[in-house]
Chains A and B, each alone.
Chain A
Amino acid sequence: MAEMKQDSQADISNAGKNRRSFIAILAGGLAMLGPIGAGILSFLSPLFRKAASPQVRVALLDQVPDDGRPYFFRVVADRQDAWTSYSQQKVGAVYLVRQPGDELPVAFTAKCPHAGCSVGYSAEEQKFKCPCHTSSFNIDGCRVNGDKEVSPRDMDTLEVVLNQVAASDSESVTEVLVTFVDYKTGHSEKILSE
């Protein structure tokens, strides 16, 4: 009889212990959840922001002769970097190529589709060449060695629009506007970065 009493007491105290342990862990866990949750929420905030893809004036058409040669232009746009607002900051670069007789130039972003380095142009070899992992492209943006090239696709073209602006009553200038967007690297198709 005495033994049974002892056992049941032990059970009760164990039961109590389990409950207390459970509540202790729960309360402690909840206490930590607040700060961790708030931290993670703010840490994830970049995921909820969309990148701007501005249409930017990169040049006047006069600066891109129709000689089939690439001309390098910096892309200058307003930009928000966290707490700093930049007006007219250099945010990237494009090459404009206008074939003889064409009005509209083709715009290539200077970002290599392989791993994102900036592609340079070698006038000597008449090729675009990436300085990092040897990708090279012809003036039309196609990969020199096709699928054997480390770049998974040809250079990315950007949308180009011409815009006439009246300079005076008699004359007007033509601006070249480029939609400066970012494409994901490492894929054989052009996929827009979110």
Chain B
Amino acid sequence: MKKIVSNSIDWLDHRTGIKEVLREALYERVPGGARWRYVWGSALVVAFVTQVITGIFLWMAYSPSTQTAWESVYYIQHEMNGGWLLRGIHHFMASAMVVLLAIHFVQIVWDGAYRAPRELNFVLGLVLMLIVLGLSLTGYLLPWDQKGYWATNVGTELASQTPMAGGAIKKLAVGGSSYGHHTLTRFFALHAGVLPGALVAFLVLHLWLFRRHGLTPKEPRAGPDVLFWPDQVLKDSVAALGILVAVMGVVVYTGGAELTAPADPANNYAAARPEWYFLFLFQFLKWFPGELEVWGAFVIPGLIVGVLFLMPWIGRSRVGHFFNVALLAVLLGGAAMLTVQAIQDDTLAGSADAKFEESGLTATPENEAAFNASREFLRAKRDALHHAERVVDLAKTKGIPPTGALTLVYEDPYLQGPKLFAQNCASCHSYVDRDQPDPAIAFLVNEKPTAPNLFGVGSRKWIEGLLDPKQVAGPDYFGYEGSPFAGEGENTEMVLFVQDDCFGGVLNDAKRAEIKGALKKIAAALSCEATLPLQREQDAQDTAMIAEGRVLIEGGLADLLESGTSCTDCHSFGAQQDIGSPVLDGYMSRQWMIDFLRNPADERFYGDLNDRMPAFAPHDNPQLNQLDDQTLGLIVDWLRGDWVRAKPQAAGDAGNH
């Protein structure tokens, strides 16, 4: 057996010279014996090989286009077996590589290993470092999520400020005048083709020169020289395994690399930050006001990199070497300081709901501005996290359409509702649950509402409030500022009906309870008209009560009240048609609400009695309307709690977001 193997090797060696190559590769002399401090260079090679392996497998599942990039990464992350692990290793090994680079670099400078005849190898090493940073920059964009998109956007904007050729550089990087398919195809070609290719080429040169000059031994030597194989290889392999275990630990601990919501050019991500090892550059820019930006972005970083390239020549003398070491200490210390500062700036407020008055900071305008900026960042981060989870839930439950995941975002009432409400409704209406004590829920509170509170609109609870004499003239219903429907207003019939017709005069407790019970049934019947998805089960259970309620609305209530009036004395409903408005058939149903938003002054609704509510879409031609059908539908669906739910939610959760 042994003979067959040995013969085969000989056969191969005669034709390829493999033995000589292996001897060259493995039997390198390690002066002074194998040492742990020599492992960093090979650790970097192993890290790079890890990136190549994981990168190729990611490549097999990744598709660079604006409709497929996020979508394919989502699929890797959330659907493919072990996809999260694969992507996690690739992501965190990239970070590890930057740390390893820093260690390798510090060691070389500290040991003066750049001195003659190794100058060129040092230069090659720096080129390799720049390539690795380039890989990191280009890789950050590829998931095409909000974080990568907006952070890279700043990067290419800065590139456009390059003196002379900035505009052209940006266009070539972006592949056009704005971000799109070709930004992805170009970044991907750089990330998976050009830069790794260049890295391999420079790495071969780097290793070739390294072998030519041998490693720089650390004096005093610990023992006799040994050969690279197996002593040093053993240490290198153990180190490689250690690094991989550490990276895997981080991947498992964090659950893998982050994937924020799909990139949206029309919706800024206010918490966009570069990857942690570029934070110092991000922070550095804050120091350069106005047109001095170019100094912060190009001139100073460019000069520093220039000096790094000259280190071997500067370091020829003892003083020069000392200068290099000192410079490196200052640069690393400065970068660390800026990084800490950037993190501190962003986390100053402590939490997204913190109040400046409670922060303990001195009340100066600067402090307040810094505090607010930090709180905005933390809010954006919280919202973005929430947003991302929602998109993933949607992708899992509804599936991603061919137009991409952004369609899911824009067609989701849960995500769009609060924004559209804030933009179109919140200047008059509030959306807040007064009974909900949880301050973490982002309600939209109008301090001086000039229209009703729309939280839970159409629900039994909401209609019961409307029919409650204590609430009907309150700020959440008709008692808002300047209301014509309450107090001194001109059209107070509804409020008076509830307060006086139903509960006015002297009523004994039994009568009061009877009327209350009747109004509860009316609320149930009316609310059933809304066909709210969250109330579907309740409506199906309470058919008897709802039927009674309908009878009461259609005139039955008149028998209970001294005034002898009921809902259908003013409103059309059921069998009682052509009486008046707002019409109660289909009250607060999807179509009723959309029609109402289109034109509240329509005779089906408030007619001439309409207060200040604008007609958002009164015309057939959409071009003439303030809001289009889709927007109206989204607002209405959100108000009605009608959106896709990943897990069944309780009715009370309608306002949670």
Residues of A in contact with B (beta carbons under 8 Å apart): 43-44, 46-47, 49-51, 57, 59-60, 62-63, 71-72, 74-75, 81-84, 90-93, 110, 114-118, 120, 122, 124-125, 129, 131-134, 136, 147-153, 165, 167, 173, 175, 182, 184-188, 193-194
Contacts and interface: CB of A to CB of B under 8 A. Distances in A.
Contacts of B619: 167, 173
Given A60-B625, A150-B289, A167-B621, 7 more contacts: A83-B181, A84-B66, A117-B153, A120-B270, A132-B272, A184-B161, A194-B171
Contacts of A114: 293
B271 A131 contact: yes
A51 B291 CA distance: 25
Closest 5 A/B residue pairs (Cβ)? A118-B268, A90-B266, A51-B177, A116-B157, A81-B180
A91 B285 contact: no
A175 B623 CA distance: 9
B265 A92 contact: yes
A81 B266 contact: no
Contacts of B265: 90-92
A74 B157 contact: no
A136 B167 contact: no
B268 A131 contact: yes
A182 to B, nearest CB: 7
A21 B619 CA distance: 80
Given A46-B172, A116-B153, A167-B624, A152 B293 contact: yes
B380 interface: yes
Interface string B610-638: 00001000010101111000000000000
A36 to B, nearest CB: 14
B177 A91 contact: no
Contact of B167 (A81, A82, A165, A184): A184
A131 B272 contact: yes
Contacts of A186: 157-158, 160-161, 291, 293-294, 297
A172 to B, nearest CB: 9
B181 A81 contact: yes
Contacts of A134: 286, 369, 373
A132 B154 contact: yes
Nearest to A52: B177
Contact of B171 (A47, A63, A81, A122): A47
Best-buried of B67, B294, B626 by chain A (most CB within 10 Å)? B626
A75 B272 CA distance: 21
B168 interface: yes
B153 A129 contact: no
Contact of A148 (B182, B289, B293): B289
A193 B160 CA distance: 10
B28 interface: no
Best-buried of B168, B176, B625 by chain A (most CB within 10 Å)? B176
Given A82-B182, A110-B268, A46 B171 contact: yes
A148 to B, nearest CB: 5
A124 B294 CA distance: 33
A187 B291 contact: yes
B596 interface: no
B289 A147 contact: yes
